[in-house]
Every structure is written in C-alpha cells, then in structure tokens.
Amino acid sequence: MHQQPSTMRAAIRFLLLFVAALAVLAWGASALFNRQAMVWAERDMGLRARLLASSAEPSLRDATGASARRLLDAMVRDERLMGAALCHPNGRPEVASNGFPATLGCASLPGEALRAGDAGWDRAISGPSGASHLTVIPLGADTAKPRLLLLVHDMSFVDRRADTTIQYTFIAFALVGLLGAAAATVVARLSWLSWTEQLRKVLLAPFRAMDAVAPRLFQPLLSDVRGLVTTLAVEEAGAETGWNPERLQQVLRRQLGGEGILVVANREPYVHERDGRGGLRVVHPASGLVTALEPVMRACSGTWIAHGSGSGDFDAVDASDHVRVPPDRPIYDLRRLRLSSEEEQGYYYGFSNEGLWPLCHMAHTRPEFRSRDWEQYQRVNRRFADAVADEASSPDPIVLVQDYHFALLPRYLRARLPRATILTFWHIPWPNAERFGVCPWERELLDGLLGSSIVGFHTQAHCNNFMESVDRYLEARLDRERHSVVQGGRETLVRAYPISIDWPSRYAEGTAPAAECHAAVRRELGIPEDALLGVGVDRLDYTKGIEERFLAVERLLERWPTYRGRFWFVQIAAPSRVIIEAYRTLNERVEALAHRINERFGRDGWRPIILERSHHEPPAIFRMYRAADLCYVSSLHDGMNLVAKEFVAARDDLRGVLVLSRFTGAARELSEALIVNPYDIDSAAAALADALAMPEDEQEERMRAMRSLVSELNVYRWAGKMLLDATRTRRRERLASRLSVGKGPGG
C-alpha cells in the first residue's frame, strides 16, 4: 500500500522529465528548421527577382517618366512584391512604383550594391512592415543608358509560416512524447511485474535449488542473497544471548559437523619455561594475536601449530611434539616446531621483524631486507606447510594462517592440499602499494598470500591497500564488486574482519572488584590511596609510541602543575625482540626518558613515571586496568590494538577513561574514547588532563557505550564471521570440484 504513491510519483517525475526533454528537442528542431527555411526563402526571392527583371528588361530599357512608372506599377501587382524602382548607376533616384518604401530607395543603397556588376546584389533586410528582401539588378549595361532595377519583396510570410511550424512541431512532439511515455510506463510496469514474479519464484525455492530455478540474469543477485543470508545467520546466531563460546560451537557444529580447525601462528598460546629448580612454569605471552585466538580455540578445538620458543617447551611435549592445552583444562592440541638458531634468526628476527614489521608500520624505522633472511623465511614457511599437511585429518581442512610471518605459507600449502580452505589473517597494517614495493620480493609475497581462499585484514583501508598492491605488481584480475582477486583461475576473497577480545573476559571475571583493585594496587606501588593513576600496557616496541606517551605526561605536569605529586603513570613494558638493534636502543631511550622526567619533577618520594620492564601475566594486568583512572594507548601505527578493548572489558564499574591514538584500528570502533594524535604532544597532554578531570557521569556514559560495542563485536563474532565465510567458500569449492569431475574428459 505504501509503495503505490511512491511509484506514481516516480512515474510522474519520469513523464515530466521526458516531456521537458522533448520540448527542448522540439525547440532546437524548430530553430534549425526556421533558419534553413529563411535561407531557402531568400534564395527563392533572389531567383524570382532575377526572372522578373529578365522578362521586364526589354520594356524598361527605353522607358522613362510616366511610361516607366506604369511598367513598375504593373510589376508590383505580384502579391509578394512590395515595390520597384529605377536608379542611375551612381544611386540617384529616377522613378519608383506607387508605395515604394522611401527608406529603401536608391539613395540608401550601399556601395557594394552599386558596384555589384552583372550578377546583381540581394540581401534580406528589415522593412517598414517586417522582414523584406531587396534585390538590385543592373539593366542595359551594354547600352548608353545603364540603370539599376530595385525590387523589394515581402518576406513576412516566412515568419508567419515559422510560427505555424513551431506550433505544429510542439504539438506533434508533445503527442508523441505523451504516447511514448505512456507506452514505456506500461511496458516497464508489465516487465517489472514479470521480473518480480520470476524473482519471487526463485526466492521461494529451496535454498539449495535456487541455482537450478534461477535464470542466468539472477545469478549475480543470488550471489548477493547468499552473502546476506550468511550475514543474517551470523547475526541471528548471536541475537538471543550474544556471541559466546557456546554459540560459536553451535554454529560451527552445524557448519563443520564438529570438525576441528588448524591454526598456524608463530606465537604459541602457552609457553613452558624452566623455573631453575628442575620444574616448568607456564607463561602467557604478551601478544594481541594470542589474546584473540586462544578463546576461539577453546571454543572450536583443533590444533594450534606454532614455533616452540620457550626454554622448557620441548620438555612438555610428547614424542610427536604435541601437548594438550590449556594446562588446567585441556581442550585442543598445541603442535610445536623446533627451529634452529639460524632459522629463527633469519625467518623471525631478520625478515619478519627487521623487514616486514617496519615495512608495514608507519613508525619511521627503516626496513632491512637481506637475501639470507629471505632464504630462511622461505625455508620455515615450507616447514610449517609440511606440519599442516601432517596434522590435516581430511583432504580439505580449514586452516587459519596468522600474520606476517607466513605470507608464503598459503601458496606452499595449496600445493600440498589443493582442496584446503585457507583463511589468512594479517594482524598488522598493510601499507600502500608504493611503500610495499620497497620489499625486493613483493611479487613472491603477494603470490604466496593469493594461495589463500580468503585474506583478512582489520580494516577496509588495509584491504584496499592490498588490492592496489596486487594490481600494481601482479598479473591478476581484480573484481572490485566482490572484493576479490582472480589469479590462475582461482579466486581469493579479500575481507575486513575487525578483531576483538573474548566477552565476557575470563580474566575480568577472575579479578577482584574495582574498589579492591584500586586500594591493593596503590599499596603495592607505595602510592597514596587518593593518588591519580594512569596506565600503559605494551610490548616494548617502537610502534607503540611509548616515548611520545612519556613526553605527553611531562607536558601535562608542565602545563597543569596541580597534578604534580598527585599523578602517577605506570608503564608495563614487556621486553620484546631485544636481539634486534632497534629494540635495544629503544629500551635504552625509554629508560633514559623516564629517568629524566622523574629527575625533573620527582620530589619527596614521588616519581611521576613507574616503568616496569617485565612480563606481567593477564590477571595482574587486569588488576592494573581496574585500579587506573585512565589508560593511554599511544600507538604510532597499529592494526587494531586490543589493549584498548581489554581496558574497556575490565571496567565493569563503568569508571576510567580511555585515551586512544587515532592511528589504531580500534579508534574506528571506540569513538567514545578521547581520540588523540600521539605526535601532537600538547593535544595529548590536554587529553590526559581532560581524562583526569572528567566527571563520573560522563565517564560512565562513555564507558557504557564502549562496553556495549565490545560485548557485541567480540572475538567469537569475529571468528564466527570468518569461519562461516570459510565454510561457504569450502562448499562452493567442493561443488565446483564435483562438477568438474562430473563433466569428465569430454565435458
């Protein structure tokens, strides 16, 4: 019912535009016709005048005075001839017919008319009664008494004819336009009814039978419908209780039939370290990747394949290098690979972290690429491909390849398991095409990633950069509508999957209430109960902006002296990649900067910056989150940054303020944080001051909004969307494989 007026309005708008276009066309056609008609009329008048002069010349040759006037009066009996006159060749009037326009007489002739010669002269002019035509014809040029004959024709009939023509032209165009528009509307309406009826039959058919029922015309639409159905399935799956481990398990049980997944990551979720007393202790690595993936593996089960980097890792595994994890409640397998020191140095520290890491981050550290590192990177990627093939329990497993350490793995894995569904997620930013070209092996990296069924990134901007890199450096077809790349007949989808954390967080649930954490943490730090506390949690990495963070604290104390002696900032900085020179010098700079600021402002036991360069387990970090008045995430460039989301998850008291760099992927989601440019030290310091002075009701409003978003867009939803896309791709590839087999050699 509501569509009828809208349809009528659209039809009326179409008709009005159509008629207006026809009116403009009619006006243009009329103007063109009138111009051409005037040309034809002038030519006709000139010919008529010359014929008349030719027939009258013998009589006028010797006629003078009254006899000449009678001859001229006889000539103007033609209804279109307004007057005739005879002139001397010098333009002096001789005799004229009755009614000859005085303004067009011999004295008014231009010089060119007097010098026209035998050819004569004619021109359209404006006469007393409208448009006229004047013709000047020489008579008796071969006699002793030459003359000029002037003939004036009335051309007002041309204007009258033009007006009539315009009227009839507009009427004709209007009738044709109305009839055409009405016919087009009727045909369009009938076509629409037929189209919608066909579409209705297709959509009402069983989902699996749609392809058989649908005409070729509807195939692109069906592709979009399938995508929408999958998206709705994802949303519906979490609609009642939200996305959680149980809901993810239910969805994957329907889609995968309980089959586990294979995860490949350099970082392992649990590290076994020797404790020095002959025993082993379990450490949770400081890694956003682990933070996101470990809850998914708890929900999905399967096997996590990683580099065994802990000092006691291979003391804890069985004969096939497997160990069941988590240690307190084993759910899935962890397969550890042994890497030699040369492999670790070249593949991990060299190519991955001295080459790709600075290449992908706009943090002003020069990437270094060495051929020996590249060789080890290739070697280790092949070793991981072999391990995945060993762990696969079917010829078409679902494999989640994680991060920049394994750009070549999808292509190697495709060679071993052609039917595998490979989803590669790139956890760090993807640079623009020009910057990516700095890498000497840019084509090999892109080709390796295109062995994937799906390549995922945190943001659409990173997807776009990847597509542009492929477009610039590879021979491949880009389908920008489907956001995919087709190379060698195989399609790779490129998708944005913003990563998140588990909700509810098991660490937040196991942490004491905020009031207890507030008091306990201050006692442990030896600071007053009413002290204002800020916190930063990072690996000690040059992309995290820790130096800029300390400078913002220093500027805060400069501009707002009231916070001196009242505000402490605790920086938890887990050491990372310390054998790389850039990281060692960063350690030294950060420590020197903290010391300088503490020396400058410290007094009576107050140190504004507390730098803790050691690994902290998640429970300790969540206690710090709950105790803090603010958390400052100052990354110079970050794919997502899960510290921001962890801080929000920890604050079930709806207190605390998040100060967040705009150069993080999280800033696109957590818009209620105080968004800053970490390079702008003055503005960052002002944001810290605003955070410390923010009223509790505003803190609550901002935190409630952010917690709502993180709870809805949690890691289970992230994993659900990826795995549902992967299973849909898997079904499509299985169908294509069956069809190709069914066609046979002659198909």
Q: Tell me the C-alpha to C-alpha distance, in Å, between residue 357 and each of 351, 384, 445, 535, 678.
A: 9, 20, 14, 25, 20
pLDDT band at 736; cut points 50, 70, 90: low
Q: Based on the number of CB atoms within 10 Å of its own CB, is 98 exposed (0-12), middle (13-18) or buried (19 or more)?
A: exposed
pLDDT of the residue at 278 = 82
Query: For residues 292 and 718, is the Cβ–Cβ distance under 8 A?
Result: yes
pLDDT of the residue at 483 = 92
pLDDT of the residue at 333 = 95
| 409 has pLDDT over 90 | yes
CA angle in degrees (0–180, nearest 5) for 31-34-35: 85
pLDDT of the residue at 16 = 74
Q: Which residue has the higher pLDDT, 323 or 226?
A: 323
Q: Tell me the C-alpha to C-alpha distance, in Å, between residue 667 and each of 50, 552, 578, 630, 638.
A: 89, 19, 29, 16, 10
pLDDT of the residue at 3 = 44
The segment(s) of the chain belonging to CATH 3.40.50.2000 are 245-496, 511-713
73-77, 184-188, 471-475, 575-579 — most confident range: 471-475
What is the rounded distance in angstroms from the CA atom of residue 739 to the CA atom of residue 151? 90
| 673 has pLDDT over 60 | yes
pLDDT of the residue at 410 = 98
Residue type, 507: Y
pLDDT of the residue at 560 = 98
Instruction: Give me the sign of the Cα torsion angle 685, 655, 719, 347.
Output: positive
- pLDDT tens figures, 335-361: 999 999 999 999 999 999 999 999 999
pLDDT band at 134; cut points 50, 70, 90: confident
What is the rounded distance in angstroms from the CA atom of residue 744 to the CA atom of residue 746? 6
Instruction: Report the percent of the chain where pLDDT is more than 70.
Output: 87
Q: Tell me the C-alpha to C-alpha distance, in Å, between residue 277 and each of 274, 282, 316, 575.
A: 8, 14, 15, 24
Q: What are phi and psi of 463, to 5 degrees?
A: -60, -45
pLDDT of the residue at 54 = 74
pLDDT band at 465; cut points 50, 70, 90: very high
- pLDDT tens figures, 120-130: 777 777 766 67
Q: Tell me the β-bridge partners of 271.
A: 283
| 382 has pLDDT over 90 | yes
* Number of residues in the chain: 747
pLDDT of the residue at 747 = 45
CA angle in degrees (0–180, nearest 5) for 118-125-66: 60
What is the arithmetic mean of pLDDT over 680-686? Answer: 98
pLDDT of the residue at 220 = 58
The segment(s) of the chain belonging to CATH 3.30.450.20 are 42-161
| 1 has pLDDT over 50 | no
Give me the CATH code for the 511-713 domain, please: 3.40.50.2000
Q: What are phi and psi of 298, to 5 degrees?
A: -60, -35
- pLDDT tens figures, 628-655: 999 999 999 999 999 999 999 999 999 9
Q: Which residue has the higher pLDDT, 247 or 718?
A: 718
Q: Which residue has the higher pLDDT, 151 or 474?
A: 474
| 140 has pLDDT over 90 | no
| 161 has pLDDT over 90 | no
Q: Which two tokens stand for residue 637?
A: 């460039």
Contacts by residues 19-22 (CB-CB < 8 Å, ≥ 24 positions apart) = 19/174, 19/177, 19/178, 19/181, 22/173, 22/174, 22/176, 22/177
Q: Tell me the C-alpha to C-alpha distance, in Å, between residue 321 and each of 199, 306, 332, 713.
A: 55, 11, 14, 35
What is the arithmetic mean of pLDDT over 167-194? Answer: 73
What is the arithmetic mean of pLDDT over 300-304? Answer: 90
State which fold the 245-496 domain adopts: Rossmann fold (3.40.50)
Cα–Cα nearest to 725, from 476, 484, 370: 484
Cα–Cα nearest to 336, from 279, 271, 393: 271
| 2 has pLDDT over 50 | no
Q: For strand 454-457 and strand 421-425, is the pairing parallel, antiparallel, or unpaired?
A: parallel
Cα–Cα nearest to 610, from 566, 639, 570: 570
Q: What is the average pLDDT score of the chain? A: 85
Element (H, E) at 307: strand 302-307
pLDDT of the residue at 553 = 98
Given the candidates 3.30.300.130, 3.30.1370.60, 3.30.450.20, 3.30.2130.10, the CATH classification of the domain at 42-161 is 3.30.450.20
For the residues of 9-44, what is the DSSP string, one character each? Answer: HHHHHHHHHHHHHHHHHHHHHHHHHHHHHHHHHHHH
What one-character DSSP code corresponds to residue 344? I
How many CB atoms are located within 10 Å of the residue 140 CB? 16
Q: Tell me the β-bridge partners of 83.
A: 152
pLDDT of the residue at 108 = 73
| 513 has pLDDT over 70 | yes
Q: Tell me the C-alpha to C-alpha distance, in Å, between residue 627 and each of 476, 511, 598, 603, 615.
A: 53, 11, 22, 24, 19
Q: Based on the number of CB atoms within 10 Å of its own CB, is 415 exposed (0-12), middle (13-18) or buried (19 or more)?
A: exposed
- What are the strands, taking DSSP E only, across 627-713? 630-633, 657-661, 674-676
178-182, 187-191, 210-214, 490-494 — most confident range: 490-494
Q: Which residue has the higher pLDDT, 83 or 552?
A: 552
What is the rounded distance in angstroms from the CA atom of residue 521 to the CA atom of residue 11? 71
pLDDT band at 330; cut points 50, 70, 90: very high
15-24, 70-79, 549-558 — most confident range: 549-558
pLDDT of the residue at 369 = 97
- For 176-208, give one letter per residue: b (16+ CB within 10 A) or e: ebeeebeeebeeeeeeeeeeeeebeebeeeeee
What is the arithmetic mean of pLDDT over 137-166? Answer: 75
